[in-house]
Amino acid sequence: MRNDIFVFSGRSHTELADGICAELGLSLGRADVIRFSNENLMVQVKENVREADVFVIQTSAPPVNEHLVEMLIFIDALKRASARRVTAVLPYFPYVRSDKKDRPRISITARLVADLLEAAGADRVLTMDLHSPQIGGFFKIPLDQLTAQPILASHLQTIPGMQDAVVVATDAGGAKDAGKFAARLGLDLAIIDKRRYADDERARAENLIGDVDGRTAVMIDDEVASGGTLLEACATLRKFGAERIVATATHPVFTGRAPERLASAPLERVVVTDTIPLPVHKRFESLDVLPVASLFASAINRIHDGRSVSALF
């Protein structure tokens, strides 16, 4: 085993960590996470990481707050063990949607998480498909953002009848990413126009920019939580004549009754990645879960060797 690079994992998604290590040809670094009777956590690193390049994998999965604190303690333990560099690998970034002050007297928690990671001793961050690119500016340390678009696009090309599909942004905010996705696939782009008329969180779909009549609509988003946005978008696309609807997203958060709602929606396929662990009760027949271990392993190799990460895309 190489002694200049180590990969450790918190408890949030050990299956993904094992997959990344398999791609790298490494064994997962040994460490103990101990919970005391007073609910405090302790991390003890069982490897000699002095002057090593270390990567710690921890995604934002329930219980989110405990996994975040565990990551901070892990980083602190590694720095105190004299690791040369520690990279926090966060496939799904914690509190990623709390990236702006859109109500009075609220916190910008994504910025707070950035500060906490730096205070713990992280030297750089590796993540995937942030809800907003501005989060990268919250850090004083380097941040590499991967995208699942190549993985999702390759899978879509295996689905019959996608040659004349239309990529659909579920709102104007996602139009830029949807445009890149459409260009990658060589497809047309459409955008659902939403308007907000009341002082509440609910934006209503009013119109569609583009043509989906008689065609396959491919919706793209960074995450799916309750599934409400997808269901509303499905209704809009049906209204404008879409024949088939496929939904893609990087992060399958799937809160509450989301799996049940998506399974019964007029969706031919729901395509996501495994940045978040999906237990059996959150899976359904029309769901495709694509692995991201190979992409993260390639990024880790490039960071370790000092090569470009953006060249992956």
The stretch 31-36 carries a mean pLDDT of: 97
Counting other chains too, the contacts that 26-34 makes at CB distance below 8 Å and 24 or more residues apart are 26/1, 26/2, 27/1, 29/54, 31/74, 31/77, 33/70, 33/74
Write the CA distances from 79 to 72, 122, 303, integer angstroms: 11, 8, 18
Tokens of residue 89, six digits: 């690998």
Task: Tell me the C-alpha distance between 90 and 300, whole Å.
Answer: 12
Q: Which uninterrupted H or E stretch holds 68? A: helix 64-80
Q: Which of 46, 140, 194, 239 is catalytic?
A: 194
Note the residue count of the chain.
313
The pLDDT tens digits for 187-196 are 999 999 876 5
The pLDDT tens digits for 35-82 are 999 999 999 999 999 999 999 999 999 999 999 999 999 999 999 999
Task: Tell me the C-alpha distance between 78 and 61, whole Å.
Answer: 22
Query: What one-character-per-residue DSSP string does 250-296 give?
Result: EEE---TTHHHHHHTSS-SEEEEESSS---GGG--TTEEEE--HHHH
- Just give the CATH number of 149-290: 3.40.50.2020
Task: Tell me the C-alpha distance between 128 and 116, whole Å.
Answer: 19
In the chain, domain spans: 5-147+293-312, 149-290
The pLDDT tens digits for 204-235 are 667 899 999 999 999 999 999 999 989 999 99
Query: What one-character-per-residue DSSP string does 210-227 give?
Result: S--TTSEEEEEEEEESSS
CATH architecture assignment, domain 5-147+293-312 = 3-Layer(aba) Sandwich (3.40)
Residue 198, classified by CB atoms within 10 Å of its CB into exposed (0-12), middle (13-18) or buried (19+), is exposed
Write the CA distances from 11 to 75, 125, 161, 241, integer angstroms: 14, 18, 40, 45
Q: With 70 as the cut, is the pLDDT of residue 2 above it?
A: no
Find out whether 84 and 123 touch, Cβ atoms under 8 Å: no
Say how many C-beta atoms besides its own lie within 10 A of residue 101's C-beta: 11
- The whole-number pLDDT of residue 196 equals 55
- Bridge partner residues of 85 (DSSP): 53
Tokens 């030297």 found at: 123
pLDDT interval class at 199 (50, 70, 90): very low
Find out whether 28 and 21 touch, Cβ atoms under 8 Å: yes
> Does the annotation mark 194 as catalytic?
yes
Q: With 70 as the cut, is the pLDDT of residue 4 above it?
A: yes
Name the percent of the chain lying above pLDDT 70. 95
